[in-house]
Structure formats: C-alpha cells, structure tokens
Amino acid sequence: MTPEDKAAIAAMPWSERTFARDSYLVREGEPASVCTFLIKGFAFRQKLVSDGARQIISIHIAGEFLDLQNSLLDVADHNVQCLTRCLVGIIHKSALLDLIAARPNVRRALWLDSLIDSSIFREWVVNVGRRDARERIAHLLCELADRLKSAGLANGQPYDFPLTQEQIADCTGLTAVHTNRTLQGLRRDGLISLSSSQLTILDWDRLAEIGDFNERYLHHAV
C-alpha cells in the first residue's frame, strides 16, 4: 500500500470503543451496518446450535477484522464476542465501501484478509472433522502461537493465551472435561505448559507433528 492509501485509511470516519469480556460485538440475525476491527485484546466468532451448545469458529487477535463480511452481507450469520476486555475500531460499512471503491490497494488487502479468514475456516473444518482430541488441541495451540508470533504480538514465550478450557473445548468440538484430560496429557508429555492464561510450547516440533500443523493455510507470505 502506498502512503496515499494509508492516508486514506487514516482519514476514514471510524470510532473506538472498549468492550468488556464476553460482550457481544455482532449478533446472529441482526442487520449488519458496521464493520469492526480489533485494536487490543482477543475476540472470537461463534454459533449456537439448537440444543444450546456453542461452536467457536475462529479466534481473533489484535489487528484483525472481526466481521469484514458485514460490508457486503445484510444480516449477520454468526456471533462475535470478546474473549478479553477489547479495544475495538468501528467503521460504518458505507465508509468502508467508499474507501474500497477509491483505493485498489486497500480493496485488495481487504479481500485478501477475507480470503485468509476463509482458509482458516477450512482448516478448522478439517481439524474438528478428522482429528482426535489430542491432535485438535495441539493444532489449535500451534495456530494461535504461530499467528501471535507472526503478528508481532509475542515477544518470546510464554504467549498470552486467554482461552479457558471450556472455550478450547468449544473451538475443538470437545467437552470441557475431555479437554481438561487431554491438556493434562500434553503437559505430562512435556509438550506444553499452560496455566493462568500463559502458554509455553516446550517442544514445537513434536506438538506441530501431533497437530498435523502446516502453516501454509495461514498464507503469511502473501
């Protein structure tokens, strides 16, 4: 992006707001009028099924858009919620569409962002569909560590890792109890250390192998 692109972004009419942990930023079924991006904190997307169970669909870290799809879609098809206290940037979708119309580079960057989101969703389908509990959790930990590192949000280990075991369970399609036992297994085998929201990956190679983790789907280089 050129300096002009960046100036155009900076000139957009956006606002900032802080949300408490667990606050909803987007609710399924509600009309979509704004787009939000995360300035500080962690957030996640989720859907609820008929019996009340929750599936988390993705985790988001600072710097990421939370609902870029709202720029074109009329009604939200899933919920977005704060994982921690969050500082969020809010842009009205029309402002974003104007910017996109005027700035090819920005347009490209935003489309690319949504395509990478999409790639992550695909990998999550694979993760919950074809891996067992140990593999799923290993994969999730690798993904988050990799993304934090690559976004420059980690200065070495341990990583800030604000997910409770129940939330890890909702990411991986498991129950909280089984997640607990599986995490204990990973600890016992000297692969990770995880407590009080601090994650240390003690043996990256083995954890990545267990989780069948290959960073290609994150498309870092693009």
Partner DNA sequence: CGGAAAATTGAGTACTCTCAACCAGCGTGG
Partner DNA sequence: CCACGCTGGTTGAGAGTACTCAATTTTCCG
What is the spatial distance between Cα 116 and Cα 125, in angstroms, rounded to a whole number?
14
Q: Is the Cβ of residue 122 or residue 181 nearer to DNA in the bound state?
A: 181
Pairing of strands 24-26, 34-40: unpaired
Contact predicate 201/99, CB 8 Å? no
The residue range among 36-44, 50-58, 148-156, 181-189 that interacts with a second copy, by the rule CB under 8 A, is 50-58
Residue 166 as a binder of DNA (CB under 7 A): the answer is yes
Which of DNA, a second copy, none binds 165 (CB below 5-8 Å, type-dependent)?
DNA
Question: How many chain residues interact with a second copy (CB under 8 A)?
Answer: 47
180 contact choice in DNA, a second copy, none (CB below 5 to 8 Å, kind-dependent): DNA
CB of residue 35 vs a second copy: minimum separation in angstroms?
12
Min dist CB 92 to a second copy, Å, is: 17
CA distance to 39, 69, 100, per residue, from 111 (Å): 20, 10, 10
**C-alpha closest to that of 136 among 146, 125, 145, 147:** 125
Binder to a second copy among 15, 22, 33, 104 (CB under 8 A)? 104
* Phi-psi sector, 22: left (phi>0), alpha (psi -120 to 50), beta: left
From a second copy, DNA, none, interface partner of 28 (C-beta below 5 to 8 A by class): a second copy
Residue 165 near DNA by CB under 7 A: yes
Angle at 81 between CA 78 and CA 82, to 5 degrees: 160
Q: Are 57 and 124 in contact, with CB atoms under 8 Å apart?
A: yes
**Minimum CB–partner distance for residue 57 and a second copy (Å):** 5
User: In the range 104-163, which residues lie near DNA by CB under 7 A?
Assistant: 132-134
For DNA, the binding residues (CB under 7 A) are 132-134, 164-166, 173-178, 180-184, 195-196
